[in-house]
């Protein structure tokens, strides 16, 4: 992860002025391009945050009218919004917990053990990732209708666990592949049985990967609309609430919630990036 | 328990897999089987019966052919656009951003921190008839007769491109990041121009990322119905819109189920064609 430039130092005098000028333009062209694409990526986010401070005239929050903090102060002033956000958080927390446990165990089996049916298990884990969400949602609803299961909170939970598991497996697997098994062997040599070794050696070393898988799962669950829409029944999650509101007029409070989720996520991510950069910096200094 | 596991080491992987596989079997495979069963039913709500009604599948290519073709065209276009937008950007991050790489990667992931529906609704704001983008394009004379961006195919493709951008960008970044810089230095030492070095070293080595990114973008793009519904009109509807409305509004389960399978088969066919294209290119190149 060192910041080497791939162009080796060439004596400037050996290059013609034209070549140097062309290099200069080209290097900066790419930078300008990068800035423009970053702008494109950030634009809708800026709009969402900006319009959480808008003071719309009438029901539609499409045109900028004036600045107000009213919607931030009165964030749950819209009927059903608070319940929808709470439901989203509950489902995300519960389904992440279950999916992370199931996914970690599966990843361990697939990476650490050679057994009959390993390839099949691998494919079965990969398949939900390669299936369009609308098909996942439609097929689950099809099952629930046939089995006469009433859709609602628990059917959403079941669906979310199903599609988060694969993401957890992929994340944890990536980490397990580079795992030093000598540490576990050492623990066993010192008389620890398999369960103790797992608890005291394997689990702590895997913790960052499990956490990464869990965070990814939580983010995917809280953001999901398509699958949830099929299996939600009368239950409203935050995205479902937004969908309903979009058919009439989206209240600025929706922008407030979206901005708040965004700011929390970005803060966590930035802190994480800074910490890992500092650690990496210390490691290279030490070496 | 520990001693038991030690004596029967052979069953450990199955014990580890059992809960997860059970869940996937019950809530992924079984539902797909039910969907298959429903796709061959006929009748009208609520009295459907299983009659091997293959005609449900034929509808996809007759009644819903425009939506099917649109799904392919929009998803294909959005995938190509995302590739063209993302490649130079992640190239810049991988080779020019120095120690701020991770921070810039965060910019790519950031849109995912805003709920999918809401970032699509934000494009509704941006592309609105009174909005700045439409104003500028109208002044430049770049817009069609009605002077609108919303409710056009352009808006829908733009929305899909934006929504799945990170799925294209991240795999390419990972493959670029893994490139051994000494290879590029070697190319330079052997008198390759920067363009040659890029085309013959960097680009081939990033191919796995491009392939992964293309798959990850194309699959959700082809099944999407949100962008067409929010940014388009029924004239922009894709297969996803039909499945959604047949299933949830018209309560026509057999047709919706059959269309779901057609969607999956279409995606699979498109991906196989893509794989073949990549394969032959590699063979001839």
List all residues of chain B from 238 to 257 with a beta carbon under 8 Å from chain A.
Answer: 240, 243-244, 247-248, 253, 256-257
Find, in chain B, the residue whose alpha carbon is nearest to that of A128.
B28
Inter-residue contact B219 to B274 (CB < 8 Å): no
Where does A147-251 have alpha helices with state H? 153-177, 182-189, 194-197, 203-223, 226-231, 238-248
A245 min Cα distance to partner chain B (Å): 11
How far, in Å, CA of B84 to CA of B91, rounded?
11
> With pLDDT > 90 as the criterion, what percentage of chain B qualifies?
19
The DSSP bridge pattern shows strands B47-50 and B41-44 to be antiparallel
To test the contact with chain B by mutation, choose from A2, A8, A39, A44 the residue with the greatest count of B C-beta atoms within 10 A, namely A44
Q: Does B185 touch chain A (CB under 8 A)?
A: yes
In chain B, residues with a C-beta closer than 8 Å to the C-beta of A34 are: 88-89, 92-93, 96
Average pLDDT over residues B98-116: 85
pLDDT category at B280 given cuts 50, 70, 90 is low
The answer to whether B111 contacts A41, with C-beta atoms less than 8 Å apart, is yes
The answer to whether B253 contacts A142, with C-beta atoms less than 8 Å apart, is yes
Residues linked to residue B48 through DSSP beta bridges, in sequence order = B43
The answer to whether A265 contacts B113, with C-beta atoms less than 8 Å apart, is yes
Average pLDDT over residues B82-89: 93
Among the listed ranges A196-205, B115-124, B137-146, which one has the minimum average pLDDT value?
B137-146
Nearest to A6 by CA among B84, B201, B107: B201
> What is the model's pLDDT at position A66?
77
| Maximum mean pLDDT: which of A120-124, A159-163, A256-260, B121-125 | A159-163
pLDDT category at B22 given cuts 50, 70, 90 is very high
Nearest to A40 by CA among B146, B88, B100: B88
Nearest to A257 by CA among A271, A239, A273, A270: A239
- Predicted structure pTM score: 0.83
How far, in Å, CA of B136 to CA of B132, rounded?
6
Tens digits of per-residue pLDDT, B6-19?
666 678 888 888 89
pLDDT category at A4 given cuts 50, 70, 90 is very low
Average pLDDT over residues B115-134: 84
pLDDT category at A99 given cuts 50, 70, 90 is very high
Q: Does B110 touch chain A (CB under 8 A)?
A: yes
> What is the model's pLDDT at position A137?
92
In three-state secondary structure terms, A61 is coil
Q: Does B108 touch chain A (CB under 8 A)?
A: yes
Mean pLDDT of chain B: 84
Comparing CB atoms, the residue among B32, B101, B126 nearest residue A139 is B32
Give the H or E element holding residue A143: helix A133-146
The answer to whether B122 contacts A127, with C-beta atoms less than 8 Å apart, is no
Nearest to B41 by CA among B281, B257, B229, B196: B257
Find, in chain B, the residue whose alpha carbon is nearest to that of A263.
B113
> Is pLDDT above 50 for A1?
no
In three-state secondary structure terms, A64 is coil
pLDDT category at B284 given cuts 50, 70, 90 is very low
Of A250 and B29, the structure prediction assigns the larger pLDDT to B29
A129 min Cα distance to partner chain B (Å): 9
> What is the model's pLDDT at position A279?
74
> What is the model's pLDDT at position A281?
67
Inter-residue contact A99 to B20 (CB < 8 Å): no
To test the contact with chain B by mutation, choose from A9, A124, A133, A134 the residue with the greatest count of B C-beta atoms within 10 A, namely A134
Q: What is the ipTM of this complex?
A: 0.84
> With pLDDT > 70 as the criterion, what percentage of chain B qualifies?
93
The answer to whether B184 contacts A6, with C-beta atoms less than 8 Å apart, is yes
Tens digits of per-residue pLDDT, A213-255?
898 889 889 889 999 999 998 999 999 999 988 888 788 888 8
> Is pLDDT above 50 for A286?
no
Find, in chain B, the residue whose alpha carbon is nearest to that of A215.
B113
**In angstroms, what CA-CA distances link A44 with A51, A153, A215, B91, B125?**
11, 31, 24, 23, 9
In three-state secondary structure terms, A7 is coil
How far, in Å, CA of A96 to CA of A153, rounded?
15
Nearest to B98 by CA among A72, A75, A277, A143: A277
Tens digits of per-residue pLDDT, B177-234?
888 888 888 888 888 888 888 888 888 888 888 988 998 899 999 999 999 988 888 8
Average pLDDT over residues B48-57: 80
Mean pLDDT of chain A: 84
Among the listed ranges A76-85, B49-58, B144-153, which one has the minimum average pLDDT value?
B144-153
> What is the model's pLDDT at position B283?
39
pLDDT category at A287 given cuts 50, 70, 90 is very low
> According to the 3-state scheme, what is the secondary structure of chain B?
CHHHHHHCHHHHHHHHHHHHHHHHHHHHHHHHHHHHHHHCEEEECCEEEECCCCHHHHHHHCCCHHHHHHHHHHHHHHHHHHHHHHHHHHHHHHHHCHHHHHHHHHHHHHHHHCCHHHHHHHHHHHCCCCCHHHHHHHHCCCCCCCCCCCCCHHHHHHHHHHHCHHHHHHHHHHHHHCCCHHHHHHHHHCCCCHHHHHHHHHHHHCHHHHHHHHHHHHHHHHCCCHHHHHHCCHHHCCHHHHHHHHHHCCCCHHHHHHHHHHHHHHHHHHHHHHHHHHHHHHHHC
């Amino acid at each position: 992860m060192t910041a080497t430039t791939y162009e080796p130092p060439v004596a400037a005098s050996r290059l013609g002025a034209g070549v140097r000028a062309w290099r200069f333009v080209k290097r900066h062209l790419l930078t300008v391009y990068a800035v423009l694409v970053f702008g494109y990526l950030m634009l809708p986010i800026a709009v969402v945050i900006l319009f959480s401070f808008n003071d719309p005239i009438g029901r539609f929050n499409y045109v900028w009218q004036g600045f107000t903090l009213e919607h931030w102060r009165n964030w749950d002033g819209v009927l059903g919004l608070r319940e929808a956000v709470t439901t989203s958080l509950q489902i995300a927390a519960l389904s992440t917990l279950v999916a992370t446990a199931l996914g970690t165990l599966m990843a361990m089996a697939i990476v650490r053990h050679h057994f009959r049916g390993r390839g099949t298990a691998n494919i079965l884990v990969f398949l939900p990732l390669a299936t369009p969400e609308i098909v996942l949602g439609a097929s689950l609803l099809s099952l629930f209708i046939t089995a006469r299961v009433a859709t609602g909170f628990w059917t959403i939970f079941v669906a979310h666990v199903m599609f988060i598991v694969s993401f957890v497996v992929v994340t944890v697997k990536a980490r397990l592949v580079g795992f030093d098994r000598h540490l576990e062997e050492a623990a066993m040599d010192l008389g620890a049985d398999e369960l103790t070794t797992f608890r005291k050696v394997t689990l702590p070393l895997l913790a960052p990967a499990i956490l990464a898988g869990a965070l990814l799962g939580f983010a995917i669950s809280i953001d999901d609309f398509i699958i949830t829409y099929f299996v939600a029944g009368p239950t409203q999650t935050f995205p479902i609430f937004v969908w309903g509101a979009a058919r009439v007029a989206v209240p600025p409070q929706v922008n407030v919630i979206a901005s708040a989720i965004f700011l929390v996520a970005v803060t966590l991510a930035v802190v994480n990036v800074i910490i890992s950069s500092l650690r990496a910096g210390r490691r290279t200094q030490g070496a | 328990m520990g001693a038991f596991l030690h004596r029967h080491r052979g069953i450990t992987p199955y014990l580890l897999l059992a809960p997860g596989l059970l869940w996937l079997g019950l809530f992924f495979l079984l539902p797909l089987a039910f969907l298959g069963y429903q796709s061959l039913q006929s009748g009208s709500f609520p009295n459907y019966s299983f009659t091997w009604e293959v005609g449900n599948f034929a509808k996809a290519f007759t009644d819903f052919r425009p939506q099917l073709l649109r799904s392919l065209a929009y998803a294909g276009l959005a995938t190509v656009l995302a590739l063209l937008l993302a490649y130079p950007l992640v190239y810049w991050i991988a080779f020019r951003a120095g120690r701020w790489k991770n921070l810039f990667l965060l910019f790519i992931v950031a849109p995912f921190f805003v709920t999918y529906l809401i970032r699509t609704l934000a494009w509704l704001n941006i592309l609105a008839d009174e909005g700045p983008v439409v104003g500028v394009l109208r002044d430049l004379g770049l817009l069609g007769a009605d002077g609108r961006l919303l409710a056009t195919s352009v808006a829908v493709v733009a929305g899909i491109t934006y929504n799945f951008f990170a799925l294209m960008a991240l795999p390419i970044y990972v493959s670029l990041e893994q490139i051994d810089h000494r290879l590029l230095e070697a190319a330079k030492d052997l008198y390759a121009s920067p363009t040659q070095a890029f085309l013959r070293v960097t680009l081939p080595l990033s191919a796995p990322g491009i392939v992964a990114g293309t798959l990850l973008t194309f699959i959700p793009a082809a099944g999407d119905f949100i962008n067409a519904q929010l940014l388009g009109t029924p004239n922009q509807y894709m297969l996803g819109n039909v499945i959604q409305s047949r299933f949830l509004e018209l309560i026509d389960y057999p047709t919706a189920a059959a269309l779901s399978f057609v969607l999956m088969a279409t995606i699979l066919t498109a991906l196989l064609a893509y794989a073949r294209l990549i394969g032959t290119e590699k063979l001839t190149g």
